[in-house]
Amino acid sequence: MKITDAKVIVTCPGRNFVTLKIYTNKGIYGLGDATLNGMEKPVVAFLENYCIPALIGKDPQNTEDIWHFFYRGIYWKRGSVAMTAISAIDMALWDIKGKVLNTPLYNLIGGKSRDKIMVYAHANGVNLDDTILKAGIEKEKGFRAIRIQSGVPGIADTYGVAKDSKFYEPAHKGLPHTEYWDTAKYLNYIPRLFEKVRETFGSDIHLLHDVHHRCTPIEAARLAKELEPFHLFWLEDPVSGELQEGLRLIRKHSTTPIAIGEVFNSVYDYSTLITEQLIDYIRMPLSHGGGITHLKKITDFASVYHINTGFHGATDLSPVNLAASIHFNMAINNFGILEFMPHQDLVHEVFKINYKFEEGFLKIDDTPGIGVDIDEEKASKYPYTMASLPVNRKSDGTMFYW
Ligand code: KDG
Ligand code: MG
């Protein structure tokens, strides 16, 4: 079997998505998600100028060798752009593998360990009362786990919280805009918020919170410690994970579970965190972390240390990635939870999906491969629109971490 061609489809049904489509001489094609929010075009350029020409003629069934060709074989390793491209290639090849063998992806990576995937919703409120209201709405929809984010008193823009209270979309049209941040105000407010949320909804619902890397290690340790009475499912990205050792400080002070890694792209971003058991959940998604081939190795490695998955699943990852993530998490033993923010209806005009939400869980059908298809005619109706994630400054103007 041979790869005969591949192309990159860029579409913007409400937001940008990049999809890699790989063709074979057997008339079978595979799809991979190559979307990197705000950096779509560099991934497209790498795929078109380097990866696709190198793929032509290769046997698509050799997923392991092709993965190493693009990872080990390339002198300039890693980085989000290259790893997103590699992820899309790997995902498309596993899609082809499933179609060739006429079986859903989960059967190729261990079969079913469960029938449905617990997912968490987002409740993003402009203030405390609005956040309680939003959490109530998600609970009514049947979610068993809810991520709680709120505008912070005294901070003009809180990342991920839309001022008009519409759907979540952190990327804004054009170049990056600036948001301003005040950690002291944030740290004073968040424990009060969770106290109120627990008081309102009781202990029978999983609560999560995303710090978006905005604390130093000692600030994060304080937050994790003060949130302990509210028994979070996890505290996400409490610090910038570049300094893996920073997570030691949090562990020393608190039993609040920690999730990290939606911006990671290699096992080497995780090695200290896993072997020293400094975290509890792997956030790195299939579409940025090297695809199924790499994540299977990382999650098996994490499993030895009793660390579970909690893959990134925001709406800037496409339905192809979401379906692949459901298959993947159906199969592995150490599944924890999956993030689920439903895409807008327009997205489902372009992508034909094979999963559905039911009472707090996602279920997927038995279509061979990943099971999602793209309607290219519809995709062509929505051209790429430049949009960027914001940058973050402290209130005195100092550039700050994400
Ligand atoms: O593109 C960036 C978003 O995907 C990210 O900000 C979402 O932090 C996020 C999350 O946990 O879903
Ligand atoms: Mg996050």
pLDDT tens string 365-398: 999 999 999 999 999 999 999 999 999 999 899 9
* Beta bridge pairs of residue 209: 235
Question: What type of residue sits at position 386?
Answer: M
Q: Please, are residues 78 and 270 in contact by the beta-carbon 8 Å criterion?
A: no
Question: What gap in Å lies between CA 131 and CA 112, rounded to an integer?
Answer: 36
What distance in angstroms lies between residue 270's CA and the mean position of ligand 1's atoms? Answer: 19
Mutate to test the pocket of ligand 1, among 209, 214, 262 (most ligand atoms within 8 A of CB): 262
Nearest to 95 by CA among 104, 83, 107: 104
Cβ atoms 73, 55 nearer than 8 A: no
Give the angle subtended at the CA of 83 by the CAs of 77 and 84, to the nearest 5°.
155
Q: How far is the CA of 159 from the centre of ligand 1 (A)?
A: 10
User: What are the residues whose beta carbons fall under 8 Å from the beta carbon of 210, sequence distance 6 or more?
Assistant: 147, 149, 160, 236, 237
Which residue ranges in the chain fall short of pLDDT 70?
A: 164-166
Counts of helices then strands in the chain (DSSP H, E):
14, 19
Q: Whose CA is nearest to atom 2 of ligand 1?
A: 37
Beta carbons of 103 and 118 less than 8 angstroms apart: no
Contact yes or no for 313/341 (Cβ under 8 A): yes
CA-closest residue to ligand 1 atom 8: 212
Atom of ligand 1 nearest to the CA of 171: 1
Active-site residue, 168 included: no
Is residue 212 flagged as an active site residue? yes
Pull the structure tokens for residue 284.
């790195």
pLDDT given at position 165: 52
What angle do helix axes 183-201 and 128-140 make, rounded to 10 degrees?
40
**What is the DSSP secondary structure assignment for residue 269, as one 8-state letter?**
G
Q: Tell me the C-alpha distance between 341 and 377, whole Å.
A: 25
The predicted pLDDT at position 166 comes to 66
Q: Say what the pLDDT of residue 160 is.
A: 79
Write down the pLDDT at residue 159. Answer: 86
What pLDDT does 351 receive?
98
Report the predicted TM-score, pTM, of the whole model to 2 decimal places: 0.97
Q: How many degrees, rounded to 5, is the angle at CA 287 between CA 284 and CA 291?
A: 85
Spatial distance between the Cα atoms of 264 and 313, rounded to a whole number of angstroms: 14
> What pLDDT, on a 0 to 100 scale, did the predictor assign at position 61?
98
Run of H or E including 85: helix 80-100
Ligand 2 (ion): which residues have CB within 5 A? 210, 262
pLDDT computed for residue 280 by the predictor? 98
